[in-house]
Structure 1
Amino acid sequence: MKHFKRFAACCAAVACAAAMLLTAAGCQQQQEPYSPPEATPQVSKPTIAQEGVLRVGVNASNAPLAGQPSSSTKIVGIDVDMAAALADQLGLKLEVTDVGTEAASALSSGKVDLVMGVSKADSSATFWTSDTYLPTAVALFAQSSNSTVPTNTAATKIAAQVSSNSAWAVTNEYDDSTITTTDDLKSAFSSLQSGQVQYVAADAVVGTYVANNAGMDVHMVALMQSVGGYSVGVLDGNTQLKQAVSNALSALNSNGVAAVIQKKWLGQKMDLSSIKLTAGALSSSDSESDSKDSGKSDTAADTATTTDPVAAALAATTAGRNSSSTAASDSATTTTSTN
């Protein structure tokens, strides 16, 4: 009888252990990777031309908004990241196309649904433009944040990239002896650091990008024009897409995604609201019109990406649903075309 009880107890223990193993195995089988739920598309045909896909045009020769590093065929930049965030917000996949400076024709021909990097101050635009997602203006940079706003005196020395809108702004407001022109912005900032000049004039976004990539500690101390910025362009008759873009941009500004993208590329959120204007500052629209034939935009020397792991992780999360791109920070589904 004792042997039988001992045998029964052993059987019960074995059965219990087997049940626990089966339960554990069942748990392991259910441990699948997490996948975010598919978002419901906010717009569809004919508001967009291709079901489930947002086709976005950028100027791939306009770093840091968009550019192609020499080591890659992919287009990267602030505009690409913002396009990925917009597509994600609208529940769509992303397709990026280089349209160069032909934003209007790309929209009117139906090549893209929307374009990025449109100057809000450009009165010649033949399409609707959103509120700005990235503010900018011609700015004066100095080594100290306590530097005063320069006045038009013989002692004032300002460096600017040759034949640029910023150089035009300097000669428009200050005496000719004030300006020192350089071949590129990095050289202008080097002149600032060496003490050859007191200020550098540059587009606020491009100047911040170049200085940040070069590891230079500079500060914006004045603006030479009222604040404008970069917007999204949509055909004026596409009412539904205009409203969807407006809503999406508002969400990206309020939830901090736009600020994360700016910090990734520029090292900081682009906030120009508290920076003083120079005495002769123009409105951004006047400056855009007057300088259109007098110079060109400031240009960045390269399209190197930053390595902020937090920003990269957040940008990757934002781009999780966007086509085959691995992260909005470094890549996007890219269709390169020539016009």
Structure 2
Amino acid sequence: MNKKFLGLTLAAVLLLVPAFTGCSSGSKTASEDSLADGVLSVAVDDTYLPMEFRDDQNELVGFDIDFANALADQLGVKVEFKTVSWDGIFNGLTAKQYDAVISSTSITPERLASFSMTDPYISNGIVIVSRKDAAPVTTFKGLEGKTLGAQIQTTADIAAGKLKEQEGVNVEIKEYDGMLDAFAALQGKQIDNVITDVGVAKYYVAQNPDLFVVSSDVLTNEPIGITSRLDDTATTKKFNEAIKALQKNGKLTEISMKWFNEDMTKDINTKLSVIE
């Protein structure tokens, strides 16, 4: 069966998402502001190089870290980071343990139905990575009889499972808690390939050009945005205004060049092509 893609513009999808939902007594309404206390509490999964990770001094670094700091400066608030494993990051947001998730979160129709998401601040899609000492896999069908590593519950992991079913490919999908483990397994020949975000893939290839290669075309289009609770639309509006300012003043370009040596923050394709 052919791939089943969801091709929707962000504007069209957003029109389907209600601005208000029922909420229990004492919860925030859309008119309230998470930033009123002068603090932006942000959740990140600190194992996702180069977006958010720990350096040799155990300092939190990465594209999203620089972006969140620039965003807070633009908004005139202080940022506080909370490191959370990816498989629990959205539950923590719903439970109001932090104000937002800024952790390479792809904008998808499913997430738009459950959360308030900003306009995209960086382009993104998923790709297949191969080892250089093996035959490159250029399509998902090329994974027949192979093992494929993915970070658990990411859009790449979900897409791999769906494509395996839709295209009838006999591929063993191995799920990892983080991409560090997945790429270590690829390097150690414990798996044959990895599927992940294009920015992540390019970073690992740049760090290990003799080991890895991005071998497929970009399989989806799922740009990245900030995630807030569904009823926290006031904060999302402020985030969008700040994102536009950071794009206009060149700060986002500066951060992208630092981490990717290319600008992935301009002319972002907002037509979603997501496998979910």
TM-score normalised by the chain length of structure 1: 0.51
Who is 1:296 aligned against? none
Percent identical: 22
Who is 2:21 aligned against? none
Q: Number of aligned pairs? A: 223
Distance in 2 of aligned mates of 1:272 and 1:49: 27
Task: Describe the shift of the 1:141–1:263 C-alpha distance in structure 2 as closer, same or farther (beyond 3 A).
Answer: farther
- Contact 2:205 2:213 (C-alpha < 8 Å) held by counterparts: yes
Task: Describe the shift of the 1:157–1:208 C-alpha distance in structure 2 as closer, same or farther (beyond 3 A).
Answer: farther
Who is 1:264 aligned against? 258
**Partner secondary structure for residue 203 of structure 2:** helix
Question: Residue 206 of structure 1: which of 175, 200, 203 is its match?
Answer: 200
Who is 1:119 aligned against? 106
Task: Describe the shift of the 1:202–1:159 C-alpha distance in structure 2 as closer, same or farther (beyond 3 A).
Answer: farther
Who is 1:76 aligned against? 61
- Contact 1:181 1:188 (C-alpha < 8 Å) held by counterparts: no
Matched residue type, 2:217: A
Summarize the alignment of residues 124-203 of structure 1 with structure 2, pairs less than 5 Å apart: 124=111, 126-140=114-128, 160-161=148-149, 165=157, 168=161, 171=164, 173=167, 175-176=169-170, 184-185=182-183, 188=186, 201-203=195-197
Distance in 2 of aligned mates of 1:119 and 1:106: 17
**Partner secondary structure for residue 253 of structure 1:** helix
Who is 2:25 aligned against? none
- Contact 2:182 2:194 (C-alpha < 8 Å) held by counterparts: no
Question: Residue 242 of structure 2: which of 248, 252, 269 is its match?
Answer: 248
Q: How well do the aligned residues superpose, as a CA RMSD in angstroms?
A: 4.3
Query: RCO (CA 8 Å, sep 6+): is it higher in 1 or 2?
Result: 2
Distance in 1 of aligned mates of 2:222 and 2:44: 19
Matched residue type, 1:123: E
Deviation of residue 189 (structure 1)?
7.4
Question: Residue 222 of structure 1: which of 208, 217, 225 is its match?
Answer: 217
4+ runs of 1 displaced by more than 6 Å?
Answer: 156-159, 178-183, 271-275
Query: Which segment is superposed worse, 131-140 or 62-71?
Result: 62-71
TM-score normalised by the chain length of structure 2: 0.61
Q: Which runs of 5+ in 1 are unaligned?
A: 1-44, 192-196, 276-281, 289-339
Distance in 1 of aligned mates of 2:230 and 2:172: 41
Deviation of residue 66 (structure 1)?
1.8
Distance in 2 of aligned mates of 1:236 and 1:228: 19
Question: Residue 73 of structure 2: which of 78, 88, 107 is its match?
Answer: 88
**Partner secondary structure for residue 41 of structure 2:** strand
Distance in 1 of aligned mates of 2:195 and 2:232: 38
Q: Which runs of 5+ in 2 are unaligned?
A: 1-30, 176-180
